[in-house]
Amino acid sequence: AMYWSGSELSPIDNIQTKSLTAYCDWRLDKKGKLLSFTYNNFKKDDNEQTSCWRATIPNDTPKALNIDKNNVDYHIQSGRVDLTLPFSFVTIDAGASYTSIRNQVNSQYDQEFNNPSKESEYLEKAKTAYLSLHHDWNRFSIKAGLRYEHIGLDRELFYDKVVIPTMSTYSSSSSVSISDKVFSRDYWLPSLGFSVKPKDGHQIGLTWGTSTIRPNFYDLNPLAISKTVYDYVSGNPGLLPSRMSNIELSYQNHHGFYASAYHHHTSNVVEQRTHFSIYPQYDSFTFTETENGDRSNQTGFYLRYQYQLTRNILVTFEDEIYYHDYRAWTDDIPNLYGWGHRHS
C-alpha cells in the first residue's frame, strides 16, 4: 500500500516569558574611570504539542500515530561587573561575570509502538573573567586581551526507553535514571590586534583571537520532536561548547569600502547527524540527533561596499569566496571540502 504522512505543531497554552534587567554605572572620576554592574533574569515557560498522522492513498482516514507533548522551562540569571581605567600610557578594561542556566523539560509521547515519558533538568554554571589592554598612538594602535571561562554542566535525566525497532529486534522499554556531571572545563582565550592608518580615511588591521560558542537551547533540549510518523529530531543536553580561533587581515576606507582575508578554525563543531533503522513491518525509520563533531576550517576573502544613496537609503554590496574543509570525528563519515561563493 502507498502511505502519506504529515505533522503539525501547535502551542498548548500561551508562552509565558518574564525578564528583568538592572544596571548601574558609577563614574569614579572625571577622566573616564567607570565601574558598571549588570544583572539579568530571564524565565520562559513553553508548552507545545506535535501530532503526526499516516493514511493510505487514496481514501483512508488519517490516523494520528504520534502525539508529543513538551513542556520546557528556562531560567537564566547572570550578573557581571566591568571596570574601565584609562591612563595616559594604556587603557585597562577588566571584568567578571557569573551565569546560571537551568532548563527543565517534561515530555510525554503517545506513539503507535509505546507511550514513553521523559523528564530532565540540566544546570549550567559559567564563571568568566577578562583583562584587556589597549593604547592608541597617532596612526597606530594595539590591543591585547585574555579571557578565562569555567563552564560546568550537571544533568538529571529520567526516561522510559523508547521502543525503536531495528533490523530484527526491539529495544527494551524499562525506565532509566541518570544523574551526573556532564563536564567541567576551563578555557583560556587570548586575543591580539593591531591597526595602522597610513593616511587619513584609510585603516589596515590585523587581529587574532579565540572564543567559545555555546550550543543553543534547541540543540540542548532532549526532546524527540516528530517530523513524520517515522522521522524525528532530538537535542542533546551533553553537548560541549565549540571553540573557535580566527585570524583576519582587513582594510577599510572612508568611501565605504571594506575588504578582509580570514581563516577560521573550529573544534567540537555542533552538528546534526541522521541515523537510520528499519521497521520490520513498515518503511525506513530515521532519527536526527545533535552531536559534537571534530573540526572545520574555512579560509576566504570578503568584500563589502556601502553607498549612502539618500538620507534614508543605504545601499550595500557584498561578495565572499571561501574554501571550507570539514574533518569528521570518525572514519565512518567522509570528510567534506570544497569552494563556496556568496554575494548580495
Q: Give the pLDDT confidence of 123-158 residue by residue, as tens digits.
A: 888 999 999 999 998 889 999 999 999 988 777 766
- For residue 145, list its beta bridge partners: 132, 191
Nearest residue to 107 via CA among 178, 12, 14 = 12
Q: Alpha-carbon distance 312 to 237, whole Å?
A: 45
Q: What is the mean pLDDT of each run of 10 residues along the chain (344 residues)?
A: 44 70 91 92 74 48 55 86 92 95 72 58 88 92 95 71 40 53 85 93 94 80 65 75 93 93 91 68 66 87 92 91 84 80 89
Three-state SS for 139?
coil
Pairing outcome for strands 175-196 and 242-253 = unpaired
Q: Alpha-carbon distance 82 to 150, whole Å?
A: 18
Nearest residue to 91 via CA among 20, 144, 170 = 144
Place of cell 587574532: 208
Q: What is the DSSP string of 183-240?
A: EEEEEEEEEEEEEE-SSTTEEEEEEEEEEEEPPPHHHH---EEEEETTEEEE--TTPP
Phi, psi at 218, each rounded to 5°: -60, -40
Pairing outcome for strands 284-292 and 231-234 = parallel
Q: For residue 171, how many C-alpha atoms fall within 13 Å in the half-sphere facing its CB?
A: 14
Peptide bond into 241 cis (omega under 30): no
Peptide bond into 215 cis (omega under 30): no
pTM above 0.85, yes or no: no
Place of cell 537564566: 76
Q: Give the pLDDT confidence of 36-47 residue by residue, as tens digits.
A: 999 999 988 766
User: Per the structure block, which three cell numbers stand in for 109?
Assistant: 509521547
User: Per the structure block, which three cell numbers stand in for 88?
Assistant: 595616559
Q: Alpha-carbon distance 101 to 75, whole Å?
A: 6
Letter string b/e over residues 44-81, b meaning 16 or more CB atoms within 10 A of that residue's CB: bbbbbebbbbbeeeeeeeeeebbbbbbbbbbbbebebe
